[in-house]
């Protein structure tokens, strides 16, 4: 297995892999596909695409994007960040892998690599989104030190958790869990978040999952 950073010539293959992975999902709405122009902008300097290749075959990608303060889609706005902090936000964007390569820790490895790249670039916050029923994505993000900070309508009306972590290294959180909420119970997630709690982890529960909530202030 080889990890490397994408270049312009990789863009068509990255876009094709994302579409292929989306078609194979039980719920294709969990992964929003991007245009090739978005990936081209990433490799041109607005971010970074980390690739996983097995024997010369592209098997997965993780994307980090630096939206800038002027971007209306900057996730810092969903979390109520002051304008002066928005330039320091990075998005850990899509991560997608061929089915036979899932569960091998590749998303975590490439994600850590991209978070380190964001830190080197001067980012203060790394943010991400996940569908409430996307257990695999949520588990990966929690393992990378992210916390759920908001529930928002994004990507043309799709409900997503908005997660955040500092770009600097984080230590494992030991704050006591005060509430558990089923992933599908969106109203209760909204109430927990409005009360100042954040999602810090989860456990599987049948075909779904349960999110753990604790009182962990967001760094400012």
| 3-class SS letters over the chain | CEEEECCHHHHHHHHHHHHHHHHCCCCHHHCCCCCHHHHHHHHHHHEEEEEEEECCEEEEEEEEECCCCCCCCCCCCCCCCCHHHHHHEEEEEEEEECHHHCCCCHHHHHHHHHHHHHHHCCCCEEEEEECCCCHHHHHHHHHCCCEEEEEEEECCCEEEEEEEEECCCCCCCCCCCCEEEECCCHHHHHHHHHCCCEEEEEEEECCEEEEEEECCCCCC
Strand partners, 210: 182, 203
List the chain domain ranges. Answer: 2-174
Strand partners, 127: 91, 164
pLDDT digits (tens, 9 = 90+) for 104-139: 999 999 999 999 999 999 999 999 999 999 998 999
Homologous superfamily, domain 2-174: Gcn5-related N-acetyltransferase (GNAT) (3.40.630.30)
**Any residues with CB less than 8 A from the CB of 74 and at least 6 apart, and which?**
67, 68, 86, 89
pLDDT digits (tens, 9 = 90+) for 155-177: 888 899 999 999 887 666 667 88
Pairing of strands 125-130, 89-97: parallel
pTM over 0.95: no
Q: What is the pLDDT of residue 173?
A: 64
When pLDDT is averaged across residues 8-18 and rounded to a whole number, the result is 95
- Tokens for 144, please give them: 């990378």
pLDDT digits (tens, 9 = 90+) for 182-218: 999 999 999 999 999 999 999 988 878 999 999 988 7
Q: Which of 147, 213, 132 is nearest to 180 (CA)?
A: 213
């Amino acid at each position: 297995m080889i990890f490397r950073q994408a270049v312009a010539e990789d863009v068509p293959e990255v876009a094709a892999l994302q579409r292929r992975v989306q078609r194979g999902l039980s719920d294709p709405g969990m992964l929003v596909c991007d245009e090739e122009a978005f990936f081209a902008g990433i490799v041109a300097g607005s971010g970074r695409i980390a690739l996983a290749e097995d024997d010369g075959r592209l098997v997965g990608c993780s994307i980090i994007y630096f939206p800038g303060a002027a971007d209306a889609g900057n996730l810092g706005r969903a979390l109520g960040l002051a304008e002066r902090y928005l330039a320091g936000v990075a998005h850990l964007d899509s991560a997608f892998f061929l089915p036979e390569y899932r569960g091998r820790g590749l998303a975590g490895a490439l994600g850590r690599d991209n978070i380190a790249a964001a830190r080197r670039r001067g980012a203060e916050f790394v943010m991400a989104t996940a569908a409430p029923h996307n257990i695999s994505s949520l588990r990966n993000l929690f393992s990378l030190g992210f916390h759920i900070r908001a529930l928002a309508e994004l990507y043309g009306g799709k409900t997503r958790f908005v997660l955040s972590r500092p770009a600097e290294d984080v230590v494992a959180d030991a704050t006591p869990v005060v509430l558990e909420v089923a992933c599908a119970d969106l109203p209760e997630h909204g109430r927990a978040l409005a009360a100042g709690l954040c999602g810090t982890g989860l456990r599987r529960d049948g075909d779904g999952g349960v999110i753990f909530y604790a009182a962990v202030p967001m760094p400012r």
